[in-house]
Amino acid sequence: MGATDTNKPNVAIVGAGYVGLTTAVLLASSGYNTHLVDVDKEKVSKIKKGESPFFEPNLDGLIKKVTSNKKLVPTSSYEEAVPQAEIVLSCVGTPDKADGSSNLKYVFAAAREIAQHAKDGTVIAQKSTVPVGTGRELAKEIKAANGQLGFHYVSNPEFLREGAAISDTLYPDRIVVGGDDKSSLEKVAQLYEHIIQSASEIDPVLQKEYQPHEYIDGKIVYTTLESAELIKVTSNAFLALKISFANSIAKLADEVDGDIVGVMDGVGLDRRIGRAFLNAGRGYGGGCFPKDVSGLIAAAEKNNVSLEIIQAATHVNSSMPGYIIDKVTKHTDSFKNKDIAVLGLSFKPATSDTRRSPAVQIANLLVDEGASVRAYDPKAIFEDGDLSKGVAREETIDQTIKNADAVFIATDWPEFAAYQPEQYAQQMKGNLLVDCMNMLNKDEVARAGLTYIGVGR
Ligand code: NAD
């Protein structure tokens, strides 16, 4: 490894999801002796076999390497993982409750377990996204669970994106560490410095994209506990705001015959604004944005602050699947008994994650409208039965769109754009191509004899 293995304390990661597993694998790859503990025994046994429980590009190969050289030890036992660790990173899930506030039961349960097994002087860092104020509560909970334990609590929010989890961890935009004890903040920051220093050996292909780099400079934000917690949720809320802003203007563009893609290209050239996340479409979903935004609103309300602008963003977002269906009904009398193909179900491309996916909502809404719906996604995995039983899963694009009256592209997987408009036209019975992600060239679609329907175009 590029970085030496001296000064590398033992680390335990709690929670083997997208965040925990990726972080554990990359720490192990950069020379750390890493234990990874999860209560889900099935997940643990999969990881032990060198497999990822979910699809994440390039993760399987790295898991195989670090489990076979024993740098990573997956386990379902806190007793095995935590006592020898100098730093414990908590990465368990924080779903939302029915009222939109964050469900912190896993975070608190993990904290109690860590408290019972940690050795004196352990640094306990929180990578899960939690509402501001949670860190102080957790520190109290840890004290209550084990009054003898000397420990330092650090907020270390995670910013990786599913589908790009490895490159985001090897080449992060920033590392945020917040808390009261400077040396603990430095210890946590150093984990990432070592990952970054080893990046070119862990993934030489990625390195080519990023060279040359003096990557760590200016990227570590040392701050207070509360500010670190706020940085995470504020970042996600702002990105959600940008998407809903683009969708609001897209609705106007639809009325006045504008094209939102060109509009946002023009707007985004202003360096004060930027082009990223100004893409109109069926809205955001996934395991983070919806619940992080609702969690921020709930945390603000608890502090008697009303975040109207962010509430508006959530309203716009939840309107988008229905808005698209309504727009299409202007071109077709009804969906009843129509054969409709839906391409894409994951909440975004390059992931199997379907949590809160607007693509799934679109498929389900079409079933509710009486359509016969067939759907294809290259990777989607369903954990919670969100997909309507009325949706038939297919294995290929061809099977899915054959003789369809209309095709909805609901997730922007590259293969849907690589499939040529003429191929769509050849396979389909009808002529409606609904581009819920504005990913196709609308003129090429029209030239193939299809009616193109985008969002704000
Ligand atoms: P996930 O649902 O994929 O994984 C969470 C894991 O925690 C599961 O494997 C679960 O079995 C395990 N777990 C639950 N309770 C446990 C306990 N008491 N002890 C041990 N393991 C336990 O979650 P994720 O997507 O990795 O997200 C984790 C946190 O990171 C969340 O707060 C999320 O908001 C945040 N986050 C996620 C992403 C992302 O892209 N997924 C990005 C940044 C931040």
CA dihedral 15, 20, 24, 26 (to 10 degrees): 170
CA of 375 to the centre of ligand 1 (A): 28
For residue 98, the model assigns a pLDDT of: 87
CA 382 from chain center: how many Å? 15
At 205, the pLDDT band (50, 70, 90 cuts) reads confident
For residue 258, the model assigns a pLDDT of: 96
* Cβ–ligand 1 contact at 128 (below 6 Å): yes
CA-54 nearest atom, ligand 1: 3
pLDDT per residue as tens digits for the range 37-68: 999 999 999 999 999 999 999 999 999 999 99
CA of 455 to the centre of ligand 1 (A): 33
CB 386 within 8 A of CB 285: no
For residue 211, the model assigns a pLDDT of: 57
Mutate to test the pocket of ligand 1, among 14, 25, 38, 107 (most ligand atoms within 8 A of CB): 38
CA of 193 to the centre of ligand 1 (A): 23
CA-37 nearest atom, ligand 1: 20
* Cβ–ligand 1 contact at 111 (below 6 Å): no
* Cβ–ligand 1 contact at 381 (below 6 Å): no
pLDDT per residue as tens digits for the range 153-165: 999 999 999 999 9
Residues 363-386: what's their mean pLDDT? 91
Residue 287 CA: distances (Å) to CA of 49, 261, 293, 355:
26, 27, 11, 5
Q: Is the pLDDT of residue 380 over 50?
A: yes
CB 295 within 8 A of CB 101: yes
Phi and psi based region of residue 283 (left: phi greater than 0; alpha: psi -120 to 50; beta: remaining): left
Rounded-to-integer distance, Cα 430 and Cα 338, Å: 10
In angstroms and rounded to an integer, the radius of gyration of the C-alpha atoms of the chain is: 23
Annotate 78-90 with b (16+ C-beta within 10 A) or e (fewer): beebbeebebbbb
Q: Is the pLDDT of residue 5 over 70?
A: no
C-alpha triplet 103, 281, 403: angle, nearest 5°: 110
Rounded-to-integer distance, Cα 389 and Cα 402, Å: 21
Beta partners for residue 340, in sequence order:
373, 406
Active-site amino acid positions? 288
Residue 297 structure tokens: 């609103």
CA of 127 to the centre of ligand 1 (A): 9
What is the full DSSP assignment across 272-334? TT-STT---SS---TTTHHHHHHHHHHHHHHTT---HHHHHHHHHHHHHHHHHHHHHHTTSS-
Rounded-to-integer distance, Cα 395 and Cα 427, Å: 15
For residue 203, the model assigns a pLDDT of: 85
At 101, the pLDDT band (50, 70, 90 cuts) reads confident
At 180, the pLDDT band (50, 70, 90 cuts) reads very high
CA of 146 to the centre of ligand 1 (A): 24
Q: Is the pLDDT of residue 4 over 60?
A: no
Within a 10 A sphere around the Cβ of 136, how many other Cβ atoms?
Answer: 13
What is the full DSSP assignment across 379-434? S-B-SS--S-TTEEE-SSHHHHHTT-SEEEE-S--HHHHHS-HHHHHHH-SS-EEE
pLDDT per residue as tens digits for the range 206-229: 766 665 556 677 789 999 999 999
The answer to whether the predicted template modeling score (pTM) of the entire model surpasses 0.85 is yes
CA-130 nearest atom, ligand 1: 32
* Cβ–ligand 1 contact at 163 (below 6 Å): no
Q: Is the pLDDT of residue 303 over 90?
A: yes
Q: Omega before 212 cis (within 30°)?
A: yes
Mutate to test the pocket of ligand 1, among 13, 14, 18 (most ligand atoms within 8 A of CB): 18
For the ranges 37-51, 198-212, 336-350, the lowest mean pLDDT is seen at 198-212
Q: Are strands 34-37 and 11-14 parallel, antiparallel or unpaired?
A: parallel
Residue 260 structure tokens: 């939102």
Nearest protein CA to atom 44 of ligand 1, as residue: 158
For the ranges 98-112, 203-217, 249-263, the lowest mean pLDDT is seen at 203-217
